[in-house]
Structure 1
């Protein structure tokens, strides 16, 4: 039984290294959007290259995150966590010295691999190390510190972009890793369940990632109208079908399809797809809108969106408690609708937009919507399956959210009619941004309709601190519960 106490020196070191590790991945997914205009200017990159700068990371992370948890269980969670931290740091270094957009995109894909190795292990190490009496408090502190990191990330990113330059958004990870990895090796006990697992579903992971990659490529390059785009779209769909077939036939699949026999689980994941597609598209385009059209600095754009995360940190626990009393249906219906209103309010944000009169009302309303829905969504996912599958269910839900954001970043510019050079023209970008916000609001309305018509059962009280103190806007929190050899855990 794990016996490390939180008050001990070892307990504090474990908490520090897991916070540092999760913060690396979380910061990187929040600060890059703020740096996109400067990256495009410095590397002479078109809009498609900026889309790939975001999506290359999300692609490998979403496609491999479940496999990363399995590797930790088999070979040792500390070992895989440390490998992930070092891998992430080396890929970040390559991002920081990238001479052109192609190298940057490739390095971002490598970053996602590192993120898939370290992300599940962060919370898993806490679950596997601390005494049961201290575990809830340790997870609460870990989640809270991670939320603070998510909140300050855009601010730090904007300051770096306006100061030493966008490359330091990536280079910042190197000293964090240099602190994190040695602490983990010295102070974190090894844990794993190596004797309890079957073979790895490498084929399933490869097919899932390939399907996402091909579909993403087809969407980003669709305006070219080439034969390659059509072939990629067809091949992507075929790879997706093959993924389903493989997962259905394998004795120990990465994503057992039987879990979707729960109508509640399936319904909430559909809501997740709608919500996080809208959020992924919004935060990708909003940072560009504020800088390209409204004339904000990178620091100003990052700070402008800060209230959304702060509201989640301050009030998610109360929202989770309320949802536990009244059930998830109302929060999962009202929350997306409120978020949709926030995105429609962004239509007021144009040239020389006033922060107080135009931007702040939109981000506050969006934040209220997220407060309403994020904790109940996670609680409902966990309540829709038996306890033994809670970790797997949470991992699938997290991967679905990341995949939804990936597809949204690829598809929204196409749907909104953004050309390759649109972000260089304030007028053209502003017009396309308005269309994109309508699409995002529409996705949220669809999510609300799904929740209203399908979500019924009451979840148990969401006592898991990572649900209640979650500050990330990119994905729902992962729940660190061992499940058939898979363990997920990042807030």
Structure 2
């Protein structure tokens, strides 16, 4: 348990610890805003491309072997990230780090479920969930402190001693966990098409921030991503054991709940622009930025724990709708921030976003899992995890494009915006404009939530009527 949770902690810590360092990385490595996004994007895209495949690989080859290999890859690539001589090397090593992280995220809960005695299984899985929340909450503050005291390289090097200790624990104490389903097959064509499609989309969105979205390169890449998406759907329909079981989407309530989750994670991915507001527009230190950015994940974690018990008592639909409305209020409040806003004002305006996501996520996850047959729970669980990384990997370049377009439109600068030379007042305006777009995304998710609520109300009388007819 300790070995698994140490790996989970590192993987989730690295999702949030890098956010606070982006302005420092952009200045230290001498790269523009579009390029520096790939320090996060390469990590998330690697996870998105491998998550579902590695879940199946663990059943075929044994969970301990795959998990331990991922731990080695993650620790070694953390060392390489800390020693990276330039931005492009750092991006490449971050992608390798994402490969190792995918192995832990895909198999961590499965390993805990298998090794925990039945009477303690729920508590063990809850321990993993608490570790995820702790990693997300600690990331910004740890990152800010490390940058202030030792420089940006230590936000990666800090993983090395933790990883070495986790490797020792896993090797010595984790049972063998032999393969359970040796006859499963990989959907290699689907994985390749999905990776190319997602890569073309992210490259097109970031290239568009440099050259403009009316240029041939960006348009070609975005066009290829549309073609790739259509091709992916065709491949998945014809594959015996696909990455994503498309038949699940025939259930309208399942599909809409999943789409709401994607929209929420797209909006949440916009948090990577917060350090540019706090550090470059307001002039705060990385340490202070990290402490301020802790507020959102802490609110998410606290209210996620509360929403679980509340949804059992009052039902999931009303609570998830309340959460989405609260998220919208938070993004709307963020549009009113000014350059000289004190830290406590930022915290008060940002808190509803974390509270709302905490209220929404657990009830919505419960509704998603409750909408599928029992024999499809494993597939649905993998798809639920995939929505998170898919929302992050697609949302980051989208948010970056909106932020860059806002800066370029106000400054009459070339589209290739260097954020270090943008006047603070215009950075603030671009930040507020971007949050306005995130508000509309939250409202779109809220509208879907109301539609599903109406579908639920319609389905209940029909189910009761069918039951009475059967009894008669």
| SS in structure 2 at match of 1:348 | coil
User: Which has the higher mean CA deviation after the structures are superposed, 142-151 or 81-90?
Assistant: 142-151
Structure 1 unmatched runs, 5+: 1-14, 459-491
1:363 has 2:350 as partner: yes
Instruction: Tell me, in whole angstroms, the C-alpha distance in 2 between the residues paired with 1:328 and 1:47.
Output: 39
1:179 has 2:165 as partner: yes
Instruction: Tell me, in whole angstroms, the C-alpha distance in 2 between the residues paired with 1:421 and 1:135.
Output: 50
1:191 has 2:177 as partner: yes
1:211 has 2:209 as partner: no
Query: How many pairs are equivalent?
Result: 442
- CA displacement, residues 241-296 of structure 1 (integer Å, 9 cap, x when unaligned): 11111111111111111111221210111101111111101x11112211111112
Instruction: Tell me, in whole angstroms, the C-alpha distance in 1 between the residues paired with 2:274 and 2:46.
Output: 24
1:450 has 2:448 as partner: yes
Normalised by the length of structure 2, the TM-score is 0.90
Alignment partner for residue 263 of structure 2, among 274, 278, 285?
274
1:234 has 2:220 as partner: no
Partner of 1:415: 402
Alignment partner for residue 324 of structure 1, among 312, 316, 330?
312
More helix by share: 2
Instruction: Tell me, in whole angstroms, the C-alpha distance in 2 between the residues paired with 1:161 and 1:96.
Output: 12
| SS in structure 2 at match of 1:430 | helix
- CA displacement, residues 200-240 of structure 1 (integer Å, 9 cap, x when unaligned): 11221111111011011111112414322222112111111
Alpha carbons 2:53, 2:186 under 8 Å: kept: yes
1:258 has 2:258 as partner: no
Normalised by the length of structure 1, the TM-score is 0.86
Written as runs of structure 1 = structure 2, the 5 A alignment for 1:420-431 is: 420-424=416-420, 425=422, 426-431=424-429
| SS in structure 2 at match of 1:190 | coil
Partner of 2:374: 387
Which of these two proteins has the greater Rg computed from alpha carbons? 2
Partner of 1:401: 388
Partner of 1:74: 60
- CA displacement, residues 445-485 of structure 1 (integer Å, 9 cap, x when unaligned): 00000011124549xxxxxxxxxxxxxxxxxxxxxxxxxxx
Alpha carbons 1:327, 1:457 under 8 Å: kept: no
Instruction: Tell me, in whole angstroms, the C-alpha distance in 2 between the residues paired with 1:320 and 1:207.
Output: 37
Alpha carbons 2:254, 2:372 under 8 Å: kept: yes
Deviation, structure 1 residue 192:
4.2
Deviation, structure 1 residue 393:
1.2
Written as runs of structure 1 = structure 2, the 5 A alignment for 1:43-54 is: 43-54=29-40
Deviation, structure 1 residue 307:
2.4
Superposition RMSD in Å: 1.7
**Structure 2 vs 1, CA of residues 130 and 277 (structure 1 numbering), >3 Å: closer, same or farther?**
same
Alignment partner for residue 349 of structure 1, among 330, 334, 337?
337
Structure 2 unmatched runs, 5+: 408-414, 458-472
Alpha carbons 1:96, 1:168 under 8 Å: kept: yes
